[in-house]
Amino acid sequence: MADVLAFVEQREGQIGGGAREVVSVAAQLASEIGGLASALVLGGPGLTSAAEGLSTAGATSVAVAEHEALSEYNPEAYLPVVVNHLRSGNFKALIFSASSLGKDLAPRVAAALDVPLGSDVTGMEVQDGVPLFTRPVYSGKAFTRFSIDADPVIVTIRPNVFPVGDYDSKIQVSKFIPDVDSETWCVRVIERKGAAGGVVDVSEAAVVVSGGRGLKDPENWRVLEELRDVIGPGTALGASRAVVDSGWRPHAEQVGQTGKTVAPKLYIAVGISGAVQHLAGMRTSQTIVAVNRDPDAPIFSMADYGIVGDLFEVLPRMTEAIKALKSED
Amino acid sequence: MNVIICIKRVPDTETHIRVDQTGTDIDTGGVKYIISPYDEFAIEAGLRVKENMEGGEVGLLTVGNSEAQETLRSGLAMGADKATLLRADSYMDGLGIAKALAVELKDSDARLILFGVKAAGSDQQQVGPMVATLLGIPCVTEVSSFEFGEGVVTCQREIEGGIEVVEADLPAVLTITKGEYEPRYASLKGIMAAKRKPLEEREADFSHPGIHIERFSEPTTRGSGCILEDSPDAVAELVRLLREEANAL
């Protein structure tokens, strides 16, 4: 029996949507290779009840490592727990999310086990029991399809791409308390400064409202903030490189080759001309809308919908129209 | 304090990527190569360490074919003191590259080993932390700025939903993201000086890749969309389409 392990993240004791995607991918792979999907989650005491919800994402068992020192991510704390758990079972594959935690931890696990890592995977197909993965390269200007000849196969999956399954299985939850000695750690988290409450990161948002040079001045961003606010929670602001380099917006909002790659349900590009490097960061969004006064702006070649016009006239009308729509819901 | 920056030669970010005849790699014809942009932040960070702390050398290291010498010279022109090319002519996956680098770095006296957070090509974002794990030294990723304390380096890290302040014992590996370290341009003097700086080439320790690329393909083009000229009805129509046709609202 070849099982698949899904590494599930928790934040403040809660397990989010990204984690469920990972479990669903593990469940899909497990069923194709004749095994079961199991989840592993590390956190502080009391995490066990949150883990039970993973049955509907496809896990038949979940191991919960509870220890005060694991409440927040520290690579030195998490690495040995993950490696030991992996070695304790018959896992042929290990799936992480390509979240900031996953991108930090997965390479360390792979190197510790002397196996390669397939990063930021956007597709998976199984042929004759062998998983074939697809991933973007050159910031999404090309894709590779590849297999990994290793035991275990380790991948990180791009968030917001794989569907979450809807299973109806019973889940076996087992809790264990690993040995954790924080005295041995060479890395210590001193402080965590969260974004303001309720602000979702652009790479996790379902809708992104993104602004570029066409906004002309940092003060004009309120036009985008108003649109973001009516679309609802789960909407984040994005930015082009030009406005980040000018100091108008923080790097955390930058979308593109030297920023984040995002795949939201809806990407609204406002006053962004669509440089190759920006397009690379958002081209896998499900629906792209562009508002720009230049009909030849490259962004329009990638947009599903758009309006050629003055964004200072179009945006307020969009905000009103969406506000009215939402109030009818 | 000696610093080493591991860099990668990648196609210029303006490049229009085409798949080659074999369908398993890019067509390199006419492609201009540069230092990966995030690696430039790392080089800048390394140069500032040298400038702020008297003494110490800034070395560059890369795994690549012999054309990567040109890439190393660009880094030397920015101000690095020496460079080493670990020559590899055939494909190695991230783990293989990490192992080749680790062999070279094992006996290094560098207290800080820097990487760009990812290479703008393969985009794997894995080699830095893999090297640290192989060397058994601490690693902090996505660092936007750092400073030194007694035997430690204190880093600002960008994560979803905010910033983390993380301290690591030295020697350490850091992967650098955009933030404090806007890279300097090489001066003409720097470019001339780079030609005389030491650049060594050695065979990289080769590992057979575990990742087998079956196919390289270009992305499917998105169909041409519905682009409206602004008019009194345009916004209402757009919102209707987003709700009813695209199911995006």
**All domains of chain B, ordered by start, with CATH?**
3-203 (3.40.50.620)
User: Is the Cβ pair B211, A146 closer than 8 Å?
Assistant: yes
Do A36 and A108 sit in the same domain of this protein? yes
A202 inside domain: no
Chain B hits for A258, CB-CB cut-off 8 Å, are 13, 37-38, 120, 178
- Which pLDDT does position A27 carry in this prediction? 95
- Which pLDDT does position B40 carry in this prediction? 97
Give the tokens for residue A160.
């917001």
Percent of chain A with pLDDT over 70: 98
Report A:46-85 residues touching B (Cβ under 8 A): 75-76, 79
Write the single-letter amino acid at B144.
S
* CATH code where residue A70 lies: 3.40.50.620
Q: How far is A22 from chain B (nearest CA, A)?
A: 18
d(CA A274, CA A115): 38
Closest-CA residue in chain A for B170? Answer: A186
ipTM surpassing 0.90: yes
A85 inside domain: yes
Q: How far is B57 from chain A (nearest CA, A)?
A: 25
Write the single-letter amino acid at A94.
L
Return all residues near B106 (Cβ < 8 A) that are at least 6 apart: B135
Do A44 and A135 sit in the same domain of this protein? yes
Residue A186, chain B, CB below 8 Å: the answer is: yes
Chain A hits for B101, CB-CB cut-off 8 Å, are none
d(CA A45, CA A34): 33
Do A157 and A9 sit in the same domain of this protein? yes
- Cα angle, residue B119 at apex, residues B115 and B121 outer, rounded to 5°: 165
Do A39 and A87 sit in the same domain of this protein? yes
Query: For chain B, how big is the Rg over CA atoms in Å?
Result: 21
> Do B94 and B115 form a contact (C-beta atoms < 8 A)?
no
pLDDT per position as a tens digit, A203-232: 888 899 999 999 999 999 999 999 999 998
Do A225 and A164 sit in the same domain of this protein? no
pTM of the model: 0.91
Do A177 and A229 sit in the same domain of this protein? no
- Which pLDDT does position A195 carry in this prediction? 63
Mutation target for A interface from B27, B41, B208, B230: give the one with most A CBs within 10 A. Answer: B230
The residue range of the domain holding A262 is 207-328
> Do B43 and B51 form a contact (C-beta atoms < 8 A)?
no
- Which pLDDT does position A159 carry in this prediction? 85
Do A87 and A166 sit in the same domain of this protein? yes
A150 inside domain: yes
- HSE at residue B230, side-chain half, CA atoms within 13 A, is 17
Residue B169 CB neighbour total at 10 angstroms: 14
Do A219 and A303 sit in the same domain of this protein? yes
Phi and psi at B245, nearest 5°, equal -95, -50
Do A212 and A319 sit in the same domain of this protein? yes
With both helix axes pointing from N to C terminus, report the angle between A75-88 and A100-113 in degrees, rounded to the nearest 10. 50
Please identify every stretch of chain A with a pLDDT value under 50, giving residue numbers as ranges. none
Give the tokens for residue B20.
């080659």
Of the residues A130, A153, A184, the one at which a domain ends: A184
A198 inside domain: no
SS3 A193: strand
User: In sequence order, what E strands does chain A have?
Assistant: 3-8, 10-11, 14-15, 37-43, 61-66, 91-97, 117-121, 123-127, 130-137, 142-148, 153-157, 172-176, 187-194, 207-211, 235-239, 266-270, 287-292, 305-308
A287 inside domain: yes
Chain A hits for B35, CB-CB cut-off 8 Å, are none
Picking from B72, B16, B114, the residue whose alpha carbon sits closest to that of residue A298 is B16
Return all residues near A102 (Cβ < 8 A) that are at least 6 apart: A7, A9, A96, A156
User: Tens place of pLDDT for every residue, chain B, 249 residues?
Assistant: 999 999 999 999 888 888 898 888 888 888 999 999 999 999 999 999 999 987 799 999 999 999 999 999 999 999 999 999 999 999 999 999 999 999 999 999 999 999 999 998 888 899 999 999 999 999 999 999 999 999 999 999 988 778 899 999 999 999 999 889 999 999 999 999 999 999 999 999 999 999 999 999 888 777 678 999 988 899 999 999 999 999 888
Q: From the list B26, B140, B236, which residue is nearest A187 (CB)?
A: B140
> Distance of alpha carbon B134 from its chain centroid, rounded?
19
Return all residues near B89 (Cβ < 8 A) that are at least 6 apart: B65
Do A180 and A283 sit in the same domain of this protein? no
A190 inside domain: no
Beta bridge pairs of residue A43: A66
A191 inside domain: no
Do A47 and A170 sit in the same domain of this protein? yes
Mutation target for A interface from B31, B95, B157: give the one with most A CBs within 10 A. Answer: B95
User: Is the Cβ pair B222, A304 closer than 8 Å?
Assistant: yes
User: Is the Cβ pair A108, B165 closer than 8 Å?
Assistant: no
Do A14 and A86 sit in the same domain of this protein? yes
User: Is the Cβ pair B225, A283 closer than 8 Å?
Assistant: no
Return all residues near B34 (Cβ < 8 A) that are at least 6 apart: B9, B10, B11, B12, B13, B71, B74
Q: From the list B94, B121, B238, which residue is nearest A116 (CB)?
A: B94
Give the tokens for residue A57.
């994402």
- Which pLDDT does position B106 carry in this prediction? 96
User: Is the Cβ pair A115, B167 closer than 8 Å?
Assistant: no
Phi and psi at A314, nearest 5°, equal -70, -45
Mutation target for B interface from A137, A245, A308: give the one with most B CBs within 10 A. Answer: A137
Closest-CA residue in chain B for A79? Answer: B133
- DSSP letter at B113? E
A159 inside domain: yes
Cβ pairs A/B, distance under 8 A: 259
- Which pLDDT does position B159 carry in this prediction? 84
Total domains in chain A come to 2
Q: From the list A117, A137, A287, which residue is nearest B94 (CB)?
A: A117
